Amino acid sequence: MNLPTSIEITEVGPRDGLQNQSSVIPTDTKIAYVDALSKTGLQRIEVSSFVNPKWVPQLADADAVFSGIVRFENVKYTALVPNKRGLDRAMDVGVDEIGLMTSASESFSSHNVNATIADSIERMKPLVESAIASGVGVRGYVSCIVACPYEGEIDAGQVRNIVEQLLDIGVEDISLGETIGVVVPTDIARIYDALDGVLSPEQSVLHLHDTRGTALACVLFAMQLGVRRFDASSGGLGGCPYAPGAAGNLATEDLVYFAERMGIDTGVDLEQLVSATRIIEASVGSSLCGRTYSASSCQDPSS
């Protein structure tokens, strides 16, 4: 079946997940959530975003969360950074890596980061230079790799074009985001075909939404192509406030269960992960939709 022996998961629940909650979660709860995630064996956690609190009030306490969490030696703690001000804040609290956002869709870029794609990449240049000079890692995020909620289908050539521009400015670690959850394995095939010679499956990170139940089928196919790194959100927390219909990230529990049962090492303890998710579910005020997570609290469906 050509499966890998291990995969690496970036947990994006504390940022991507909480950003999309209507309620603001208390800082202490976020800290407890991240600390619990740190104990699961996850290698990377996207803790928050140093965006202007005016735009994302849910993550206004990024500095306090970073200062409050216990930093585990084997875990990388990352955060999104939209500009110089954000980078300074991120540096002050000692993030291990910054994430920079752009999109394969012009319309999504204007709605999401309020800039053309070209401008969003231009803005990244000095941030990438500063981060690298300070020994801080950089990951580039490309959203809407398959379709955009405003434009519809996105050409894979456009994804290649954006990836080339990111590589040109020194961003070598690139996460490909299927933002609205329409993806099927043939889309994955099409995109990696278009990226041939530019970004290999091994080099890339895949960020999927499970809006239509298709995420793990795409993970399977992507793993067979050579992809080894995936983003996921505990409990399936999140979605995208700017992407109508995007009803949840691929749930970390589902990915861990899926991989481990196939003999693929994730390093993650599923039971501890479920416990971490329970902390945040209690606070968001609605049931999370991750399948494995939901099954863990359902012992008798007939009752």
Interface residues toward a second copy, by CB under 8 A: 1, 3, 20, 22, 181-182, 184-187, 189, 210-217, 219-221, 239-248, 251, 254, 257-258, 261-263, 289-292, 294-295, 298-302
**Cβ distance to a second copy smaller for residue 64 or 289:** 289
**Which DSSP string corresponds to 272-303?**
HHHHHHHHHHHHHSS----HHHHHHT-S-TT-
3-state secondary structure of 19: helix
User: Which H or E element spans position 174?
Assistant: strand 173-178
237: its two tokens: 């927390």
Residue with tokens 């990438």: 128
Largest CA distance in the chain: 59
**Cβ distance to a second copy smaller for residue 72 or 242:** 242
Interatomic CA distance for residues 74 and 41, integer angstroms: 8
Closest-CA residue to 14 (of 2, 244, 1, 38): 38
**Cβ distance to a second copy smaller for residue 42 or 246:** 246
Are 9 and 228 spatial neighbours (Cβ–Cβ below 8 Å)?
A: no
Q: What are phi and psi of 87, to 5 degrees?
A: -65, -45
| 148 tagged catalytic | no
User: At its nearest, how many Å lie between a second copy and the CB of residue 259?
Assistant: 9
**Cβ distance to a second copy smaller for residue 97 or 210:** 210
Residue with tokens 């930093």: 71
**Cβ distance to a second copy smaller for residue 205 or 240:** 240
Cβ atoms within 10 A of the Cβ of 196, count? 10
HSE (side-chain half, CA atoms, 13 Å) at 45:
30
54: its two tokens: 């005016």
Residue with tokens 């329409």: 182
Candidates 218, 240, 289, 298; catalytic one = 240
**Cβ distance to a second copy smaller for residue 129 or 271:** 271
Interatomic CA distance for residues 55 and 20, integer angstroms: 12
- Using DSSP bridges, classify how beta strands 229-232 and 8-11 pair: parallel, antiparallel or unpaired: parallel
Are 252 and 262 spatial neighbours (Cβ–Cβ below 8 Å)?
A: no
**Cβ distance to a second copy smaller for residue 163 or 215:** 215
Interatomic CA distance for residues 172 and 170, integer angstroms: 6
Q: Which residues form the catalytic set?
A: 240
